[in-house]
Chains A and B, each alone.
Chain A
Amino acid sequence: MNSTIRLEDVTRRYRDAVALDHVTLTIGTGVTALLGPNGAGKSTLLSLLSTAAAADHGTVEVLGHRADGALTERTAIRRRLGFLPQEVEFPSGMTAFGFLEYIAVLKEWNDKATRHHEIRRVLHAVQLADRPTIKIRKLSGGQRRRLAFAQALIGDPDLLILDEPTTGLDPEQRAVFRATLSERGRHGTVLLATHQTEDVGAVCDQVLVLDHGRVAFSGDVPSFIDTARGRVWIDDAPVPNAIATWRDPNRRVRSVGGDPPPTARPADPSVEDAYLLLVGPTPVAEVAA
């Protein structure tokens, strides 16, 4: 695999807490989902990759440059990076166009005509083309999230790092977002930190799961789903000792893990099932690929 991101024995601490614990991994072209419970180290990993923070130990290489190196190295990464933080607070009193223009200038789009053209392109991409001069405070939550996504798309970056990008989007907007990500993944690298497991199955090629600062799984989506095969059940009642149960659309009970009675039938697992089994409240087994 042609790796865009390479971490070798990376550790990052916040005082006494270890956010990343001797992490080694590679991420290549395509869309990679970054999963993990809160506090697993996802945001710390994104901070290191986006050059916002430096590792305490180990090597972080992004797009062939050291993310913890000299400013020239970090600048080389930043020129090819699109970053969407988990929550974007917009500067007060700005319009959508004004905000994007500021970010475009930060991304060295110095020529006014080409800068404005690029801003219109990304506004089109997130379906905000008709809202450029509206004050941001008048946009809905979903529109603000799309605007935040638009700033990451400026310059058609080789690496997109997105932290919870679909939060607040309605199903239609999410479909548009998925189409955009799939397109981006064909010729670049997208790292998508999310809790929306349905997005993983829809757009991602690879899955990376962090738990307690360590890599719990790294591999392709089918392999990840296969880790749950034979451990998901359908029955009329919850399976004893299951780590999660809920009713499916046919009003039958779907159980993840547990000790199935003879009446239970195995079900096709999903990304969510595999995730729950891997990092759920009582993991059945540690899986690594």
Chain B
Amino acid sequence: MSPWHVNDSTLQAYAAQELATLERASVEAHLMRCDACRGGLARLAPASVGTVSFDAVFDRVQTRIESAPRTTPWLRRMGVTDADTVVVRQIGRQCLQWTIAATLILALAALAATLNVRDSAQLGFVLLAPLLPALGVAATYRLTPTSTAALESTSPYSPARLLLWRTAYSVATAVPASVLFGAVIPGDPWMAVVWLLPSAACTAIVLAAATWTDPLRPALAVSAVWLGVVTSWHLRDVPDAVLAPPTQLVSLAVAAAAGTVLARRLLALRSPAF
């Protein structure tokens, strides 16, 4: 052991990180081989040397987290609570890839209709636009890891509330893009919005059925039916049938009926699927 020792004032300056580089290196070299000075340092600055102050770390972390810019301030302005914002952000994170893929496919359909690559190219858009919100609801469930879904299903958070937030996310991400792409398709200007009632019908059916079963099943069934309807329009050479009042009226009636079933199911809150 060295006969020389670091004095208390130097140790205090070292602990406070106030020593110059050369002096600090000299003290550290001595501390490496001197138990007495290491003990003295520990007594002088027990909280700052040799241990990690977790409280201090957490304070910094808390500050970072709570002061971090939120990506969803508009949700707060709409009256969405802080807790629900956490849920919506989680849904968005989980479904980002789906949202991007769905938007790209819709853009391609709109591009094909705009370029009029075939006579009935706009039917591609008519096929896709009404289905995206319904398929999006199913996607929000299927893209959730199984174990996370188990934690959701065994938590007290209302499954109906979770279903409605997922629906809101799907509608909010699919509808604006569909309206935008529909607006650029040449032809009838109503094409931008004419798919909304069929879309409402498809989505309401999936939501009502989701109170009994996995949303993917009704989403696939509804997609198959809608594909059949659009195909029949193509075969009968009536590509504008979606604009016809009967189509809109039937869609409205189906949406109202499915919406009524959904409302009754949510109010009853007795679904085994929940």
Asked if A81 is an interface residue, CB under 8 A from chain B, the answer is yes
Whether B156 and A107, one on each chain, are in contact in the complex, defined by CB atoms closer than 8 angstroms, is: yes
Whether A105 and B153, one on each chain, are in contact in the complex, defined by CB atoms closer than 8 angstroms, is: no
Query: Would you give the 0/1 interface string for A200-230, flagging 1 where the beta carbon is closer than 8 Å to chain B?
Result: 0000000000000000000000000000000
Q: Which of A95-103, A246-254, A277-285 contacts B (4 or more CB under 8 A)?
A: A95-103
Asked if A140 is an interface residue, CB under 8 A from chain B, the answer is no
Whether A91 and B274, one on each chain, are in contact in the complex, defined by CB atoms closer than 8 angstroms, is: no
Asked if B146 is an interface residue, CB under 8 A from chain A, the answer is yes
Asked if B54 is an interface residue, CB under 8 A from chain A, the answer is yes
Query: Would you give the 0/1 interface string for A76-112, flagging 1 where the beta carbon is closer than 8 Å to chain B?
Result: 0011010101011111111001000111011111101
Question: By the criterion of a CB under 8 Å from any partner CB, how many residues of chain A are at the interface?
Answer: 41
User: How distant is the Cα of A85 from the Cα of B145 in the complex, in angstroms?
Assistant: 12
With beta carbons under 8 angstroms apart, the residue of A72, A78, A115 that contacts B155 is A78
Chain A residues with Cβ below 8 Å from B156 are 75, 78-79, 106-108
User: How distant is the Cα of A71 from the Cα of B155 in the complex, in angstroms?
Assistant: 11
Whether A106 and B155, one on each chain, are in contact in the complex, defined by CB atoms closer than 8 angstroms, is: yes
Asked if A129 is an interface residue, CB under 8 A from chain B, the answer is yes
Chain B residues with Cβ below 8 Å from A133 are 61, 64-65
- If A85-B151, A88-B147, A120-B58 touch, does A105 touch B274 (CB 8 Å cutoff)? no
Chain A residues with Cβ below 8 Å from B144 are 91
Asked if A70 is an interface residue, CB under 8 A from chain B, the answer is yes
Query: Would you give the 0/1 interface string for A157-175, flagging 1 where the beta carbon is closer than 8 Å to chain B?
Result: 0000000000000000000
Chain A residues with Cβ below 8 Å from B93 are 91-94
Whether A102 and B86, one on each chain, are in contact in the complex, defined by CB atoms closer than 8 angstroms, is: yes
| Of listed B65, B81, B94, B272, residue having the most chain A CB within 10 A | B65
Whether A110 and B155, one on each chain, are in contact in the complex, defined by CB atoms closer than 8 angstroms, is: no
Whether B54 and A105, one on each chain, are in contact in the complex, defined by CB atoms closer than 8 angstroms, is: no
- If A50-B154, A71-B270 touch, does A120 touch B62 (CB 8 Å cutoff)? yes
Whether B148 and A91, one on each chain, are in contact in the complex, defined by CB atoms closer than 8 angstroms, is: yes
Interface of A is mostly: loop
Whether B57 and A130, one on each chain, are in contact in the complex, defined by CB atoms closer than 8 angstroms, is: yes
Query: Would you give the 0/1 interface string for B185-221, flagging 1 where the beta carbon is closer than 8 Å to chain A?
Result: 0000000000000000000000000000000000000
Chain A residues with Cβ below 8 Å from B78 are none
Whether A71 and B157, one on each chain, are in contact in the complex, defined by CB atoms closer than 8 angstroms, is: no
Question: Looking across the interface, which residue of chain A has its beta carbon closest to that of B151?
Answer: A103
Chain B residues with Cβ below 8 Å from A101 are 86
- If A71-B270, A89-B147, A102-B87 touch, does A81 touch B157 (CB 8 Å cutoff)? no
Whether A52 and B154, one on each chain, are in contact in the complex, defined by CB atoms closer than 8 angstroms, is: yes
User: How distant is the Cα of A168 from the Cα of B83 in the complex, in angstroms?
Assistant: 32
With beta carbons under 8 angstroms apart, the residue of A71, A102, A107, A115 that contacts B274 is A71
Query: Would you give the 0/1 interface string for B134-160, flagging 1 where the beta carbon is closer than 8 Å to chain A?
Result: 000000000011111011111111000
CB distance from A64 to the nearest CB of B (A): 16
Whether B83 and A105, one on each chain, are in contact in the complex, defined by CB atoms closer than 8 angstroms, is: yes
Interface residues in B65-112 (C-beta closer than 8 Å to A): 65-66, 81-84, 86-87, 90, 93-94
Asked if A269 is an interface residue, CB under 8 A from chain B, the answer is no
Asked if B263 is an interface residue, CB under 8 A from chain A, the answer is no
Chain A residues with Cβ below 8 Å from B94 are 91-92
Asked if A132 is an interface residue, CB under 8 A from chain B, the answer is yes
With beta carbons under 8 angstroms apart, the residue of A72, A92, A116 that contacts B62 is A116
Asked if A265 is an interface residue, CB under 8 A from chain B, the answer is no
Asked if A194 is an interface residue, CB under 8 A from chain B, the answer is no
Whether B83 and A81, one on each chain, are in contact in the complex, defined by CB atoms closer than 8 angstroms, is: no
Asked if B52 is an interface residue, CB under 8 A from chain A, the answer is yes
With beta carbons under 8 angstroms apart, the residue of B148, B150, B153, B272 that contacts A90 is B148
CB distance from B166 to the nearest CB of A (A): 14
Question: Looking across the interface, which residue of chain A has its beta carbon closest to that of B52?
Answer: A130
Whether B152 and A52, one on each chain, are in contact in the complex, defined by CB atoms closer than 8 angstroms, is: no
Asked if A124 is an interface residue, CB under 8 A from chain B, the answer is yes
Chain B residues with Cβ below 8 Å from A52 are 150, 153-154
Whether B83 and A130, one on each chain, are in contact in the complex, defined by CB atoms closer than 8 angstroms, is: no
Asked if B36 is an interface residue, CB under 8 A from chain A, the answer is no
Asked if B269 is an interface residue, CB under 8 A from chain A, the answer is yes
With beta carbons under 8 angstroms apart, the residue of A78, A87, A112, A115 that contacts B154 is A78
CB-defined A-B contacts under 8 Å, sample of 9: A71-B270, A75-B156, A78-B155, A85-B151, A91-B144, A91-B148, A92-B94, A107-B157, A115-B83
The 3 closest A-B pairs by CB, nearest first: A89-B145, A106-B155, A106-B157
Known: A52-B150, A78-B156, A91-B93. 18 other contacts (CB 8 A): A51-B153, A70-B270, A79-B156, A81-B154, A88-B148, A91-B94, A91-B148, A93-B93, A97-B61, A102-B86, A102-B90, A105-B157, A106-B87, A108-B156, A116-B65, A130-B54, A130-B57, A132-B65
